[in-house]
Structure 1
Amino acid sequence: MNINSDFSQKAVINTSGLVWNLSPVSGIERKYLDRIGDEIARASSLVKYSPESSFTEHTHGGGEEILVLEGRFSDEHGDYPAGTYIRNPPNSKHTPYSKEGCILFVKLRQFHAQDDSIVKIDTTTAKWHPGLVSGLSVMPLHEFDGVGTALVRWAPNTIFNPHVHPGGEEIFVLKGVFHDEHGSYPAGTWIRSPRYSKHAPFTKSEGALIYVKTGHLNNLL
């Protein structure tokens, strides 16, 4: 299965318009964002657990990154409410489930082989730092080998400088509406921009909260 697998091309998906696809496990469904492979795949997806659903124990050969968007996600190591950011390193394993149901943003098999730290952050209480321009706040989530992941909070009517992303950029809009000269992206929009893409982002009266990853497309060279 190949979905948005040409990483030299920009991809924009308003996920509210995607259908949920059945997984091999009853009660768990997925919306595909990008994917190379079948059940064992390099993939970015939204994953929905129905209440009282569980997935079989499995190992993440290339690591797993999760942002809990709604509900409560759980495994044998703990419970993770909405707003939790999780990194399970390469060759980690777990048996995930959800008692009340949840929706996750998930990236699979995209870690550097030496990126072996376990990360669990409650983004509802973690510290925000001032951004590079007025109206911008940043919550760093992870950094390794030139790949950075963060939440970025945009106050209404914030304008950022035009800039280039040599290693590419990926955005998932969590709240509000994010804008640049190429378009407007409401909550639920996923954007993947290729290496050396450039833009001049801004917000209007709604403001925005976005998940951002940069530098990761260099790994595909």
Structure 2
Amino acid sequence: MRLNADFTKRVVIRPDDYKWSESPANGVRRMMLDRIGDEVARATTIVEFAPGSYFDAHSHDGGEEYFVLDGVFSDESGDYPACTYVRNPIGTSHKPFTKEGCRILVKLHQFDADDIVPVVIDTAAASFRSGAVEGLSVLPLHSAASENVALVRWAPGTKFAAHAHWGGEEIFVLDGVFQDENGDYPAGTWIRSPHLSRHDPWSDAGCLIYVKTGHLPQIT
């Protein structure tokens, strides 16, 4: 399968665009955002677990990164409530499940081989720091090679200068409404912008976004 596999193109998927499909695990369905491969794939996906559902034990041959959007996601290492950010490096394994149900944003097979440090951050309890402009605050989550991951909070009325994305930019809107000259992006929207793309972002109402930069192929 190849879904949104051309990294030279900008992709926007809003909640109204979601098309869910069943996974091989009972009670687990997926909204595929991008994918290269079949069941084992380089993929970005929203995964929804019904209460009491689980996946069989599996290993992460290309690494696993996820953010818990709601509910509580669990494995043999512990429970991860909403707003938890986790990185499981290449070669790790687990058997995930949920008691109450949950939804996660997950990225698979996208780790650099030297990115070997596990990460678990309860972002709900973490402290943000001041951003580059007034009204912007940032919680860094991870940095490796050219890749940087952070949560960015925009106070109502915050505007950022027009800028280019070296190595691309990926955004998932967690809360509120993010905006740029191309449109409005409510909570649940996923945006992938290619290498050297530009935009002029702001937020009238305020928002919280997950942002990853520098990780996309540098194709012009």
Quickly name the TM-score band, shorter chain normalised.
Answer: over 0.9
TM-fit CA distance, 1:34: 0.2
Which residue number corresponds to residue 118 of structure 1?
118
Question: How far apart, CA to CA, are the structure 2 residues paired with 1:40 and 1:26?
Answer: 18
TM-score, scaled to structure 2: 0.98
Which residue number corresponds to residue 216 of structure 2?
217
1:90-169 superposed matches below 5 A: 90-169=90-169
Give every structure 1 segment of 4 or more consecutive aligned residues whose post-TM-superposition deviation is greater than 6 Å. none
The superposition leaves residues 58-87 of structure 1 with CA deviations (integer Å, 9 ceiling, x where unpaired) of 001110001000100000000000000000
Which residue number corresponds to residue 207 of structure 1?
206
Q: Percent identity?
A: 56
Are the equivalent residues in 1 in contact too, given 2:43–2:108 (CA < 8 A)?
yes
The superposition leaves residues 80-129 of structure 1 with CA deviations (integer Å, 9 ceiling, x where unpaired) of 00000000000110000000000000000000011010000000011101
Please tell me the residue identity of whatever aligns with 2:64: E
Question: How far apart, CA to CA, are the structure 2 residues paired with 1:91 and 1:39?
Answer: 17
TM-fit CA distance, 1:15: 3.0
Please tell me the residue identity of whatever aligns with 1:77: S
Please tell me the residue identity of whatever aligns with 1:55: F
Report the 3-state secondary structure (helix = DSSP H, G, I; strand = E; otherwise coil) of the residue aligned with 2:202. Answer: coil
Are the equivalent residues in 2 in contact too, given 1:15–1:31 (CA < 8 A)?
no
Say whether 1:189 aligns with 2:175.
Answer: no
Question: How far apart, CA to CA, are the structure 1 residues paired with 2:97 and 2:16?
Answer: 24
1:13-162 superposed matches below 5 A: 13-162=13-162
TM-fit CA distance, 1:19: 2.4
TM-fit CA distance, 1:220: 8.0
Question: How far apart, CA to CA, are the structure 2 residues paired with 1:148 and 1:89?
Answer: 16
Q: Please say which of residues 44-53 and 210-219 is displaced more in the overlay.
A: 210-219
Distance 1:81 1:16, change over 3 A: farther
TM-fit CA distance, 1:17: 3.0
Pairwise CA RMSD: 1.2
Please tell me the residue identity of whatever aligns with 2:86: I
Unpaired segments of 5 or more residues in structure 2? Answer: none
Question: How far apart, CA to CA, are the structure 1 residues paired with 2:5 and 2:217?
Answer: 15
TM-score, scaled to structure 1: 0.97
Report the 3-state secondary structure (helix = DSSP H, G, I; strand = E; otherwise coil) of the residue aligned with 2:172. Answer: strand
Question: How far apart, CA to CA, are the structure 2 residues paired with 1:89 and 1:15?
Answer: 29
Question: How far apart, CA to CA, are the structure 2 residues paired with 1:194 and 1:72?
Answer: 32
TM-fit CA distance, 1:174: 0.5
Question: How far apart, CA to CA, are the structure 2 residues paired with 1:220 and 1:182?
Answer: 22
Please tell me the residue identity of whatever aligns with 1:211: Y
Are the equivalent residues in 1 in contact too, given 2:195–2:218 (CA < 8 A)?
no
Question: How far apart, CA to CA, are the structure 2 residues paired with 1:182 and 1:19?
Answer: 23
Report the 3-state secondary structure (helix = DSSP H, G, I; strand = E; otherwise coil) of the residue aligned with 1:156. Answer: coil
TM-fit CA distance, 1:18: 1.1
TM-fit CA distance, 1:166: 1.2
Aligned residue pair count: 220
Please tell me the residue identity of whatever aligns with 1:74: S
Report the 3-state secondary structure (helix = DSSP H, G, I; strand = E; otherwise coil) of the residue aligned with 1:218. Answer: coil
Question: How far apart, CA to CA, are the structure 1 residues paired with 2:53 and 2:215?
Answer: 32
Report the 3-state secondary structure (helix = DSSP H, G, I; strand = E; otherwise coil) of the residue aligned with 2:203. Answer: coil
Question: How far apart, CA to CA, are the structure 2 residues paired with 1:219 and 1:133?
Answer: 27
Q: Please say which of residues 211-220 and 113-122 is displaced more in the overlay.
A: 211-220
